[in-house]
Structure 1
Amino acid sequence: MHDIRAVRTDAAAFDAAMARRGMEPQSAAILALDEARRAAIALTEGVQAKRNALSREIGAAMKRGDKAEADRLKAEVAATVAEAEGAEVDAKEAAVTEALSVLPNILDPEVPEGRDEADNVVIHTHGEPARPNFEPKQHFELGEALGLMDFAAATKLAGSRFTVLRGALARLERALGQWMLTLHTDQHGYTETAVPYLVNAATMHGTGQLPKFEEDLFKTTDGRYLIPTAEVPLTNLARDEIQPEAALPLRFTALSPSFRSEAGSAGRDTRGMLRQHQFSKVELVSITRPEESDAEHERMTQCAEAVLTALGLTWRRIFLCAGDTGFSAARTYDLEVWLPGQQAWREISSCSNCRDFQARRMKARYRRGKDNVLVHTLNGSGVAVGRALIAVMETHQQEDGSILIPEVLRPWMGGLERISAG
C-alpha cells in the first residue's frame, strides 16, 4: 500500500507512477478523501479540547453550588459530543485506506516500458531450445500414452483444470517437490516452513490479494480463503511484528498446494497441466532491510535458476515490462522454460521485489536504532512443481515415448532412470 504522505508531497510524481501502470491520475480523488479525513480529525480534536474545558467549568460550577450553570454546561457537552460523532473519523480513515489499497505498487525506474508480455525484455538464455530429430509430443500426449496421466478421471472427480497422476509420474511430481525443497534449505539458506493452506482475510490483504483480486480466490463458507501461493502465509509471518535488525534477512521456503480460480482464463491452456485450479509449488520468501532487497532479488532469482539448470532444462530470464508487472511488485523477473512439445517458451517461475508495499499493509517492521522501519519483502517460485514436471517430460522425452529422469531426481525415484510404458 502507498504512503499518503508521498501523495501529498508530490501528487504529480504519484500520478506519473500510476500512468506507467496504464492508470488515470489518482491523486486528486485520494487527496480529497485525505482532506476530509484530516478535517474530521481536526474537528474531533477541537471538540475534545472544548469538552475538556467545559468539564472543568462544570466542576467549578458544582463547587460553588451553581446547579443551573452546571446543567447548562452539561447540555453543551452533550451537544459537543454529538458534533464529534458526526465527524465520522473512522469512516473517513477507512475511505482513504480503501482508495490506496486498490492501487498497484510503484514500479522501479529500471522496469521496461510496455503494455503487455510482448514488451518484456529477455535478459539472458541458458542453453539452446531442443529440436530433436523426431516430432516431440506435448506432456499430456506423453502422459496419456504412458497411462499415467488421467484427465477424464480428474474431470469426473472435480471438473475441468484438474489432473490425476499415477505410478511413476505421481512419484516424479513428488520427487520434484521434495528435491527442490531440500535444495533450497540445504544449499540456499532458506528455512523450511509448513504453513496453513486456509488463511483469513487480513492475511490475504497483507500481500495484496484483497480487496482487488477476490474473484481469483476460492473462499470458504466461514470466510477463509484457500491460498493461491505459499507467499501469502510466509510473508504474513512478519505481519504486525518488529524484527531485530540482526535477524534480517529472513528466508522462508514451503512446498504447498496452490489454489486459483483462473478467473478470466476461459479458453486458455485447456489441455494438459499448464493452468490448473490446484497445483504444487515450492515458494521462496525473503524479508530484508531496504538497502539489501535488490541484491536479495538477484540472489532469489539465481536460486530458482539453479533448479532449472540442475534439471537439464533450457531456460531464459525475462524482465517484465510495466504493463505485465504484478500488482504488488516493484520489479519482477520471470523464468521461462523451453517446451519442445509445444515449441514455445512458458513461465515456470516469477521472482518479485515488492519493496515496502506489502510491509506497509502488514505493518511489518524492524528495529533500527531507536526507529521502527518498514522491511522489504520479496517472493519467488522455486519453482512451480507441475510446470517443472511438464518441462522434464517434454525436454527429456525419447522417440519411443519414454522419459529419462534427470540424475538429481533419481535418488528420489528409488534409482529409476527412465519412465516407460508398461
Structure 2
Amino acid sequence: VEGMTAISDANGVESLAGIMGGEHSGCTDETTNVFIEAAFFDPVCTAYTGRALKIHSDARYRFERGIDPAWTPIGLDHATQMILDLCGGEASDVVIAGAIPDHSRAYRLDTDRVQSLVGMEIPAEEQRKTLTALGFELDGDMAHVPSWRPDVLGEADLVEEVARIASLTKLQGKPLPRTTTGVPKAILTPMQKREQIARRTMASLGYNECVTYSFIDRKSAELFGGGDDATMLENPISSDMSHMRPDLLAGLLQAAKRNQARGFSDMALFEVGPAFHGGEPEEQNLQVAGLLVGRTGPKDLHGSSRSVDLFDAKADVEAVLAALGAPAKVQILRDGANWWHPGRHGRICLGPKKMLGVFGEVHPKTLAEMDVKGPAVAFTIWPAEIPMPRNASATRPALHLNDLQAVERDFAFVVDANVEALTLVNAAAGADKALIENVH
C-alpha cells in the first residue's frame, strides 16, 4: 500500500518497518545466525501504517514519536555486544545503507521570554545552565537542539524546558485585574441561551443527553450527506474517525447501537452540538437532535406500551420549537433527505426555503447500515434558523375581544390520494382570513 514501509527480500515481505516483525524474521531454538538491523523509520509513515492496519506494538509506540537518529549506530554496537556476551559467537562487519537524517536545528534563546510567557523570574545564567544540562549546545544566543529531542520545535519549547526544571509550582497565583468591582453578571449570546433552553426542554421530555465525537467514519458520514474531502481530517485519531459529522443523527445512532449491544432496547437520546459541511466557519451549524428507539416505555400493570412512531417525534420537536420561540404557524413539507422514511417524515419550514427542523421515521436501510434495530424515529432542529423575537415595546396594546363567541367546526373531505394535508389546511385558512383564526 502506498505510504507504508515494508522490509522484504526476494521471497516476499519479512516485516513492517517500525511496527512488527514477521514469522520468518523471528528466532527459534534452531537459530544460529542473527541479522541485526538498526534503522530510523519516518514517524509519519509509521503512524500511518499502524493506524491503517490497526496494529499496536512497542516498536510503533517508539518510532511514531520519533527516536534519536544519531544513536542508531551506537544502538547497533550495544545490541551486538549484548548478543556476544550472552550467546557468544562472532560478529561480522557492519554494512551501512544511507546516511543519518540531518534533523539539526537551532532557536534563539531570549532570556526575557520566560518572564513574558510563563511569568517566572529566572536569571539568564541559570537558564543557560539548565539548557546545557539538558543537552542543548549554546552558541551565543542560539540553542542547538539535541538529536534525541524531536519535541522541541520552537522558542516557546526552550522556555518550557527552563520553566519545568525551575518547577512550575513556584508560580504565584494572581487574580486577573477587574475593570469593575464585584462579580460581573454572566452574559450569554442569544444562541447560547437557546442551547440551554433546548437542553432543559429535552431533559424535561425524558431524553438522556449524549456527547458524541464530532468525527465519524467515512461510510457513516456518506449516509448523512457528508464524507467528502472538505470534511476529511488530515491526521485522524483512527480510521473510524476520519470525517467531521454532517449530522448529529449519525452519532446518536452509533450510541443507540452500543446501547442495544448491552441489552438496552428502548431509549430516548438527544444531543446539542455542531455539524459540519466544509472546512469554513460558515459551513458549520448548530443542531438539536433527538432519537427514540424501541417502545414508548417498559411493560407494567397500569398500561401497555407501544412502538414509537413519527407522531412521538413530531410532538417532541414541536415542544422544543415552542420553547425556543419559533412561530406557531409553520408549514410541514415532505421532501426530506434520503435517510428518512419516504412518506413518514416532514420538514418544518417558514416559507419554502427557511427550514427550522425535520422529523420522522429513520429509513430501514439507514438503520441496517448503522446496525440499529428499529423502530426508530428522530428529529433535528436548527436553532439559528428560528427568527429572533422582536424587542418588546414599553407599552402593551389594548386587548380587543371579538363580540361573537368562538365556534369550532369539524369538516371531512374526500380528495385524491396524492393531495397533501397542508394543501387542505391552507385552502381552509384562506377561505376567510378575517373570521378564521386557526386551522388544524
TM-score tier by shorter-chain length is 0.3 to 0.5
Q: Which of 1 and 2 has greater Rg?
A: 2
RCO higher in structure (CA 8 A, sep ≥6): 1
Q: TM-score, normalised by structure 2?
A: 0.38
